[in-house]
Amino acid sequence: MSVQIQVKNVSKIFGSKPKSAIPMIKEGLSKEEILKNTNHTVGVYDATFDIQKGEVFVIMGLSGSGKSTLIRCFNLLNKPTDGSIILEGQDITKCSREDLKKVRQEKIAMVFQHFGLFSHRTILANVEYGLEIRNVPKEKRQEIAMQNIETVGLSGYEDKYPDELSGGMQQRVGLARALTNDPDILLMDEPFSALDPLIRREMQLELLDIQERLQKTIIFITHDVNEAFRIGDRVAVMKDGHVEQVGTPEEIIASPANDYISEFIKDIDRSKVFQASHIMTKPNALVSIKDGLNVAVKEMRENGISSVFVVDRSRRLQGIVTIDDAIQGIKDNQSLSDLIREDITVVEEEEYINDLIPKALESSFPLAVVNENQKLVGYILRVHVLSGLTSDDVSESEEYVY
């Protein structure tokens, strides 16, 4: 991934002389103090972070924390009072009017919370609007618009009017319209907050699906921490205009930057954020199929374990062998491959803990974690899945259950 947008010391102040408050920000006065002393409102307070090309970057925070003010700086609907926003090397706060128009038409599109559709235009006419104002010939623009209507799953509705569609469908139109200019970056300001929970969940999944197909950079605002962590590759948490922390959902949960963030995320369902790769342990003992039973027994004894995973030369998982079987097998002159048990539960690195729980309940061995090439990358003790999700609080003795 490469950096697409650099936000450097961006502040946005509202009031009659916004710039006059900048020195106070530099001195570290709070939003509250600045309001009291000068009657200026700090929308965004000295924000600095990068956004990577192709990521879903979520801005999360309570009402009034500055999310909309910040996202509107990216297309200069709000001009920052101070600082710079570098889009692919170009500081857009210093753009000419012409260049800005180009950026808005070609690079960045916005999807609004309340859809912002033209009620007197059909769905097709709404979606093609961005191309119409760029004088793209009718046939061409309708072709592109129809493709985007299909992308958001609304084929067949192109001749309807917005008020004939449900809220979720109208929001899809908003998304199709934003996609029509084929922007690199989509700005979405609480796009799903007006939708009921089921439709909202469906739209989140669909957005991720579209994102995977089209590889856009998406900057997405929400005040819902579950939504933020579900769809965000990285999340920025805002409070009083400050960006308090930027990180992946796992990073934020594992080490919240301060008490405010800890409080904010306390209700999050960790099992839907953490994946197998986050809680797995790298195998300390492994045997290869060519090693034979004596090596297998030695490995298990040395590591104090009662079963061990068996892999082939390329570390692809073959199964598991237990110490009892192995000892008996030596007596009976059997080979390792005769004794490999395949009744193990194999999970992928990216599977969410939530989905591992039923598998852990059913399995009699530790879960084997494999990568996309079916190579064994780790194991998860059932007790880790079932007891609060971190390996820290599992005692040493329990390590030896398997």
Contact residues: Mg ion, CB under 5 A: 68
> Minimum distance between the CB of residue 230 and ligand ATP, rounded to whole angstroms?
18
Closest to ligand ATP by CB, 130 or 174: 174
Phi, psi values for residue 350, rounded to 5°? -90, 0
> Minimum distance between the CB of residue 25 and ligand ATP, rounded to whole angstroms?
14
Closest to 124 (Cα-Cα) out of 149, 153, 151: 149
> Minimum distance between the CB of residue 15 and ligand ATP, rounded to whole angstroms?
7
Pairing state of beta strands 234-239 and 56-61?
parallel
Closest to ligand ATP by CB, 237 or 340: 237
14 binds, among Mg ion, ligand ATP, none (CB under 5 to 8 A by kind): ligand ATP
For residues 135 and 141, what is the distance between their CA atoms, to the nearest angstrom?
9
> Minimum distance between the CB of residue 29 and ligand ATP, rounded to whole angstroms?
15
**317: alpha, beta or left, given left = phi > 0 and alpha = psi -120 to 50?**
beta
If residue 286 lies in a helix (H) or strand (E), which one and from where to where? none
Closest to ligand ATP by CB, 61 or 174: 61
Q: Which residue in the shown chain puts its C-beta closest to Mg ion?
A: 68
Interface residues with ligand ATP (CB under 6 A)? 14, 41, 43, 61, 63-69, 223
41 binds, among ligand ATP, Mg ion, none (CB under 5 to 8 A by kind): ligand ATP
Closest to ligand ATP by CB, 67 or 107: 67
CA-angle at 75, arms to 69 and 78, nearest 5°: 40
For residues 360 and 326, what is the distance between their CA atoms, to the nearest angstrom?
24
65 binds, among ligand ATP, Mg ion, none (CB under 5 to 8 A by kind): ligand ATP
Closest to ligand ATP by CB, 14 or 49: 14
For residues 167 and 169, what is the distance between their CA atoms, to the nearest angstrom?
5
> Minimum distance between the CB of residue 65 and Mg ion, rounded to whole angstroms?
9
User: SS3 of 308, please?
Assistant: strand
366 binds, among ligand ATP, Mg ion, none (CB under 5 to 8 A by kind): none
For residues 387 and 392, what is the distance between their CA atoms, to the nearest angstrom?
11
Is residue 296 within 8 A of residue 308, CB to CB? The reply is: yes
Closest to Mg ion by CB, 220 or 309: 220
160 binds, among ligand ATP, Mg ion, none (CB under 5 to 8 A by kind): none
If residue 377 lies in a helix (H) or strand (E), which one and from where to where? strand 376-380
> Minimum distance between the CB of residue 192 and ligand ATP, rounded to whole angstroms?
13
Closest to 10 (Cα-Cα) out of 66, 90, 58: 66
